[in-house]
Amino acid sequence: LRVVSYYNEYKSYLSNRMDTKKLYGLFHDCYEGKIKNDDVIGFIKSNNSTAEQQNDIADMLSVLDIESTTKEDVKDREVFVSVLQGVVKYLRHDILKERLEYETLERVKLISNSKQFNTKYVRTRTKLFYKQQKYNLLREENEGYNKLITELANPSSDPQTTVDNILKLIGRFDLDPNRVLNLILETWQNYLENSEFFLSLIRLFPKQQGSLCNMLGFNFSFYSADPEETPDSLFRVAAFLIHKKVIDLHELYNYLGPSFDEMKAQYNKALVEARNTAKNLLTVSLNKDEDADKDQERDQEENNSSTCNQKVKLCIALIEIGCWTEADDLIHLLAPFCVPRDPKGRQVIFDLLSWRIHEFYKTCVNSAVTVKHVKEIANDPQVKSWSDFSQLVFVPLARLGPYLARSAVLFTKILRIFGRYVRDHKDKLITDPIAGQIMTITNDVILPSLSTVSCNYNFTSLIWDYIQHFPYHIRYRLYAKWKNEAYKKNPVLIVTKAETVHKSRYILKRLTKENVKPFGRQIGRVSHCNPCVIFEQILSQIQRYDNMILPIVSALKYLGMLSFDVLSYCIIEALSDPDKEKQKEEDTNISWWFQVLAQFCGHIYKKYSIELSGLLQYIVNQLKANKSTDLLILKEVVQRMSGIEISEEVTESQLEAGCGGSVLLAEAGFFSPIRHTERSNQRLQEALSKEKIWLPLCILASQQRHSLIFGNDERYTKLTARLYDQCQDTFTQLGQFLTTNPTINQCLNALPSFEELCTMYHLQADSAFFLLRTKLSDQIKSGITLDGETPEPYIESSDKAMSVLSDQVKLMYSPKVWDKISPRLFATFWSLSASDIILPTARYDAEIERIEGLIKQVNDNDELAQRRKDKEIERHKEMITKLQEEHKAQALNHSLVTARLEAEKDTWFTSSSSKVDAKMQFLQVCIIPRSLFTATDAIFCAKFVDICHTMQASNFSTLIYFDRIFTDVSHIVTNCTDNEASRYGRFLNETLSGIARWHKDKALYEKECRKSPGFVHVVRNDPNSDEKRIEKYLDYENFRHVCCKWHFKLTKAMVFCFDSKDYSQIRNALTVLNKILPQFPVVLNLAQALEKRILKVKEEEKTARPDLYALAMGYSAQLNSRKSSFIAEDKFHHVEAKKSANTDNSNANSRNSSPASRKEKRAESVKRREELESEKKRRREDDAKKSGGSGGRQSEEKKIKEPSPKVKTNGTRDKDVESDEHKSKVRKK
C-alpha cells in the first residue's frame, strides 16, 4: 500500500510537471522552420496551468535564452524573442524577471530600461547582503544623550536656558558638540511647529563659522545616493535657515544634487525623447494598449524627474514658507522649467500667486463673481495696487512657463485681471510699462500654456478680450513667436504639436462639403488652443487642392476671434514664404499655390469678420519693394468683399450700366449683385479708411504699371503684360470701390492736387485724373444750387476749377503740345466721367422694368409667407425709388455738363496749328491713353468725339480725326497688353458703329454731316477775294468711298500683325477683331483676305502656340457665321463702271484671240505690270528720301488691292490740309 501510495504521488507529480525535452525540441524545430511560432505558443499555453509547469517553462526559457545569445545565427535569436513575446501574457512576470536576461526582458517589454533595472537589482542585493548597519553612537554616552534628547523634546520658554543646559550636558558627559548640533537639527525636523525656538537655539549655540552649513550639507550628501528618501522636514529646516539668513543659499547649493550638468543632460534627454515621440506619433499604431502604456510611462517619468532633485525640493520648501526671493535665485541656477515640471513645484507657485492676488482680484472682477478662499502663506505680501501687481506677480508667472494652465482657476484669474487693466488703459498701451509686461507674459506664459489645454474656449475668449486692444503688429509678433519658437523649447509643447498635427490631418483627410458641420466642430475644438498648428496644416492642404477652399471656409465658422486673428497672421506668413516662388520656373505665369491662397483670402475675409489691416499693410510693403505680384491678393479681396468685378468680358448692358450712377452700377453692372456683400463691403471700407491706407495702395498700384515696364527686372513680355493688366485692373477696381462708397468717397476730398500726384508721386495723367474726378466734381458742385434751367452758376464754378487745373496741366507736357490743343481741352477731357456725358435712360428703364417683374413674381409665389412677401416687395420698391431718383440726378448732371461743354467748345482746338497736327496731338495725349484705361473709358472717348462733332467745335475736323484713327492701327495693337487690346477694340467698335450709321442712311448723313464743319474736305482761298474762302463738304458717295478706304486700312493693319509671327501682335489682333466683329469686316473681299490669314495662323500655331490657335479658331467660327451679312465692294461704295467694262472686254478678247496672240498679250501684260511696279518703287524711294526714310509696308500693300476713292480726305497742300510729305512724317513717327 505504501508503494502504491508513493507511485500515485509520483504519478501526480509527473502530471504536474512540464515535458521540458519536448519543449526544447519544439523550439529547435521552430528554428529550423519545421513548425510555426504559433505551434510553440499553443503548446505552452495549454501546459501552464500549475505553478510547477510555469517554473519548468521559465527554466527552459532561461536555457534557451542563454543559448540564443551565444549563437552566431541571429535568426534563431529573433525567433526565440518572437515566441517569447507571444507567451509572456500566459506566464508569471515575476518568475520571468528572475530567470531571463535583462536584454531579453527589455525586448519583451517586461522592463522599460535594462540598465536601470540592473542598477536597482544591484542596489537591492547590496542593501540586503553587504551593507552594514550604522554604529549607534548613543551607546557610549547613554545618559548624556538621553538627557539631551529630553531637553530638546521638552524645551523651556527661554532658548538661552536651553542652551545653558545643553552646554552643561556637553561638559558633564563629554559629548561631541558637532553631534549635539546635528541632534538639534534632527529634533527640529520632528518639531517643525517650534521653528522659531530652534532658530533661536541655533543662533545661541556656540559653533564655528560655516559648521552649520557643512552639517546640513553632510545630511543632504548622505541622501544623494537615493534622493527620493531625503525627508521633506530637512528641506523645510534648510529653507527656514536660508530665509532667516542663518546660512547662505549659495554655500548650501554645492552640497545638493544633482549637478547642473546632470540637470542639463536630463533636460536635453527629455527634448530628444519628445522629438522622437513626435516623429513616431504620426505613424499608425494598431496597439492602443501599448500607446496607453507609453503615455503612462511618459507621465510617470515627468513626475519622477523632479522628485529626485534635491535642489527642486529645497526650492519648493522656500516657496512654501513665503521665501520667494531666495527661491527665485535658486530657480535661476536650475535647468529650464525644472520646478514647474514637478507637480508639487508648480502647485506651490500656484498657491503663492493665488494668495498674492486674492484680495486684488476681488476689486478687478464683477461683484457677482464668487471668489473662493485660498491657502494662506505666512510672511508673504499681497497685491494692493497695479504697481504691486507688477512687482509681485509677473516674476512668478514667468517662472511657470507653459504650465500655468495646469491650474484653470489661477489661469482664469490672471486673464481677467489682464483684461481689466488693458480695458482701463487702452489709450496708452504702446507706452505703458505694465502693458508691455503683460504682452511679455502673454508671449512667454499665456499662449504656450494655452497650447497645453485640450479644449477650452473660455481661455481663448479671455485672452482675446485684452489682446484685441493692441495693434495688429504687436499681436502678430506674439503669434510669430508662439508658432515658430514656443513649440521647440519645451518637451510638453513638442509632443502637443505632434498630437495636434495628427488630429489635423485626420480631420482634413475626411472633410468634404457634405460633412462640414461635424468636422467643422472638430476644427474649432482643436483651433481654440493650438490655432497655429492646425492653420499651418489647413493652408498647406489648400495650396495643394484648390477644391478644398469652399469646404474649409464653411468649416471655419466654429472658430473664435483669437483663432481668426491667428489665421490672418498665418495667411500672411504663408504668402511671404521665402522658400516659395510666386512665379513659375518658366517665368510666364503666377504660381498656382499663390493664386489659390489669394482666392482663399477673398473667401475667408468676405465671410468672417477678420481684421484686414495686417493684410493690407503687407500688400503695401510688397508694392514698396516692387513686388507687383501681390496685387492679386488685393484684387481677390476687393472683388469678394465688395462684389466689384473687373472683367473685359462684360456685356453691353453692363457697360451701359457703368455709364450710370452707383445704384445702377451696383444693380446691373456686375455679374453678382452687390447687395449680397453689404456687411463685408462695410468692413472693407473701415479697413481702408483706417489710417488712410487706401491712399498708399492707390498710389503704389498706379506706380507699379510704370515700374513693370521700365524696371530692371528681366521678364518675359507675356508675363510683363499679364502683370501690367493685373496692376491696371486692381487699381481701377480699388478706385471704383472708393468712388462708389460714400464713407470713403468723403476721404477722396483729402487727395493731393493733380500737380502733387504727378510731380511728387510720379503718377501718370490717366491715374491721377481717375482718382481726382470725384473730388473735382464735388468742388464744382459745392456752394451752388444745381438747376437744369439756369446752368450759369455751374458753368462759372466749373470755369474756375478748370482754370486752376489747366495751369497745373501745363507742367505735364512741353509747350509744343499746347500750341496744338488747349490745356482746357485736356483738363475737361480727363476730368469728365462717362456718366457726365452719357445718360443711359434705356438701361434705367430696363432695370426698373426687371425689378417690377420681380415684384410680380413675389406676389404670384404662394409658397412664401406673407411677411416675407411684404419684406421682399418693400425692398424692391425702395430700389425702384433709388433708381428713379438717381436717374433724375443723372439727367440733371448730364444737362449741366452739356451746357458747360457747349460754353467752352470753341477754346479746345487752337487755330494757329494745322488740323492734322491738332488731331494727332489730341489722339496722342487724350484719346488713345484713355481708350486703353478701362472699357467704360473706351466708350467715353468715342462719345466725346461724337459730342465734338455734334456741337461743331471750332477747328475740329471729324473727317481727319477718323482718318488718323485708322492709320497705322498696327502700331497701337502691337504695343497693347491683352486687356488693352480688348478696350481698344471696344473703342474701334464704337467708332465704326457711328460711321456705319451714316454709311447706311443717306438722309441721316445729310442731316448730321453734310453741312458740318467736321466734314469739310477742301478749303481754298477765293481767287476773286483775299478774305473769302471756299469750303467744300464731303458728299455722301465720297463718304462711302472714304469708309471703304478706312476698312481697307484696318484690314491691312490686321494682316500685317498676322504676318509678323509675333505672339503679342497676333493675339492682340485677334482680340481686336473679336471686339469689332459686329462692325467689321463688311466688305466681302476684305473678309476673304482676313479669312485667308486666319487659316494660315491656325495651320502654323496649332502645335506651336495652342492658345493662339484656340483664339483663331473662335474668331474663324464667328466670322463664318457672319458670311451671309458680307456685301460686295460695289454695294459698299460706288465702283466705276468703266473699269468693269474694260475688264469684261479684255476678258472677251482674250477668249476670242488665238493662242499666239493670247501669249503675246500675256507677255505685254507682264511687261506693263513690271513697269508699273518699278515706277511705284521709284516713287516710294523718292518719298522716303524727302521724308527722311519712312518705313513702309510694301509687302502688305501688294497683298490687298486698295480702293481708289474719288476724293482725298486731306485736301490740297494748304496749311490746314495734310500733304504727302506730312503723311510720310507721321508714318515715320
Handedness of CA 321, 324, 326, 331 (dihedral sign): positive
- Residues facing residue 1016 across a β-bridge: 1033
Question: How far apart are alpha carbons 689 and 669 in whole angstroms?
Answer: 25
Instruction: Check residue 482 and report its DSSP letter.
Output: I
Task: Write down the pLDDT at residue 1117.
Answer: 94
What are the cell numbers at 455?
Answer: 479644449
Other Cβ atoms closer than 10 A to 1123: 11
What are the cell numbers at 204?
Answer: 545661541
Task: Write down the pLDDT at residue 1141.
Answer: 41
Handedness of CA 1005, 1010, 1013, 1014 (dihedral sign): positive
Task: Write down the pLDDT at residue 1180.
Answer: 63
How far out from the chain centre does Cα 920 lie?
A: 47
What are the cell numbers at 1171?
Answer: 513697269
Tell me the pLDDT tens digit for each residue of 906-943: 888 877 667 788 888 899 999 999 999 999 999 999 99
Rg (CA), the chain: 48
- Exposed / middle / buried, residue 75 (Cβ in 10 Å: 0-12, 13-18, 19+): exposed
Residues 1046, 951: contact at Cβ < 8 Å? no
What's the CA angle centered on 1032, arms 1031 and 1036, to 5 degrees?
Answer: 150
What dihedral do alpha carbons 421, 427, 430, 433 form, nearest 10°? -40
Nearest partner of 386 among 433, 428, 324, judged by Cα: 433
Question: How far apart are alpha carbons 709 and 717 in whole angstroms?
Answer: 9
Question: How far apart are alpha carbons 201 and 184 in whole angstroms?
Answer: 9
SS3 339: helix
Residues 611, 472: contact at Cβ < 8 Å? yes
Nearest partner of 223 among 210, 238, 211, judged by Cα: 238
Q: Where are the alpha helices (DSSP H) in 126-259?
A: 142-153, 159-173, 177-190, 195-204, 211-222, 232-243, 249-253
What are the cell numbers at 1210?
Answer: 486731306
Tell me the pLDDT tens digit for each residue of 1031-1075: 778 889 999 999 999 999 999 999 999 998 899 999 999 999 999
Residues 1209, 1017: contact at Cβ < 8 Å? yes
Nearest partner of 645 among 722, 550, 733, judged by Cα: 733
What's the CA angle centered on 528, arms 527 and 534, to 5 degrees?
Answer: 15
**Angle 1106-1121/1084-1104 helices, nearest 10 degrees?**
150
CB within 8 Å of 1140: residues ≥ 6 apart: none
Q: Which residue shows C-alpha cell 464754378?
A: 797
487, containing H or E segment: helix 487-489
Question: How far apart are alpha carbons 34 and 30 in whole angstroms?
Answer: 6
Q: What are phi and psi of 862, to 5 degrees?
A: -80, -15
Question: How far apart are alpha carbons 196 and 181 in whole angstroms?
Answer: 16
Residues 1068, 1051: contact at Cβ < 8 Å? no
What are the cell numbers at 29?
Answer: 524545430
Tell me the pLDDT tens digit for each residue of 964-1011: 999 879 889 999 999 999 999 999 999 999 999 999 999 999 999 988
587 in the Ramachandran plot: left (φ > 0), alpha (ψ -120 to 50) or beta? left
Other Cβ atoms closer than 10 A to 430: 10
Q: Where are the alpha helices (DSSP H) in 746-813?
A: 754-759, 765-781, 792-809
What are the cell numbers at 410?
Answer: 489661477
Question: How far apart are alpha carbons 1210 and 849 in whole angstroms?
Answer: 49
Question: How far apart are alpha carbons 1078 and 1075 in whole angstroms?
Answer: 8
What are the cell numbers at 907?
Answer: 477754346
Task: Write down the pLDDT at residue 294.
Answer: 45
Instruction: Check residue 335 and report its DSSP letter.
Output: P
Q: How far apart are the first and last CA of the chain?
A: 139
Low-confidence residues of the chain, pLDDT below 70? 1-18, 49, 131-141, 282-307, 366-371, 585-588, 671-675, 711-715, 742-746, 788, 912-913, 1018-1030, 1136-1229
337 in the Ramachandran plot: left (φ > 0), alpha (ψ -120 to 50) or beta? left
CB within 8 Å of 421: residues ≥ 6 apart: 386, 434, 435, 438, 466
Task: Write down the pLDDT at residue 282.
Answer: 67
What are the cell numbers at 340?
Answer: 514647474
SS3 935: helix
Question: How far apart are alpha carbons 1136 and 1204 in whole angstroms?
Answer: 10
**Angle 288-307/310-320 helices, nearest 10 degrees?**
70
Q: What is the DSSP string of 633-679?
A: HHHHHHHHHH-----S---HHHHHHHTS-HHHHHHHSSSS-GGGGHH
What are the cell numbers at 44?
Answer: 505552452
Q: What are phi and psi of 1020, to 5 degrees?
A: -130, 150
What's the CA angle centered on 729, arms 724 and 734, to 5 degrees?
Answer: 130
Question: How far apart are alpha carbons 193 and 969 in whole angstroms?
Answer: 105
- Exposed / middle / buried, residue 173 (Cβ in 10 Å: 0-12, 13-18, 19+): middle
CB within 8 Å of 898: residues ≥ 6 apart: 837
CB within 8 Å of 111: residues ≥ 6 apart: 97, 102, 105, 117
Residues 331, 253: contact at Cβ < 8 Å? no
pTM of the shown model: 0.77
Q: What is the DSSP string of 1106-1173?
A: HHHHHHHHHHHHHHHHTGGG-B-HHHHS---HHHHHHHHHHHHHHHHS-HHHHHHHHHHHHHHHHHHH
371, containing H or E segment: none
Beta strand segments in 223-366, E = none
Q: What is the largest CA-CA distance in the chain?
A: 174
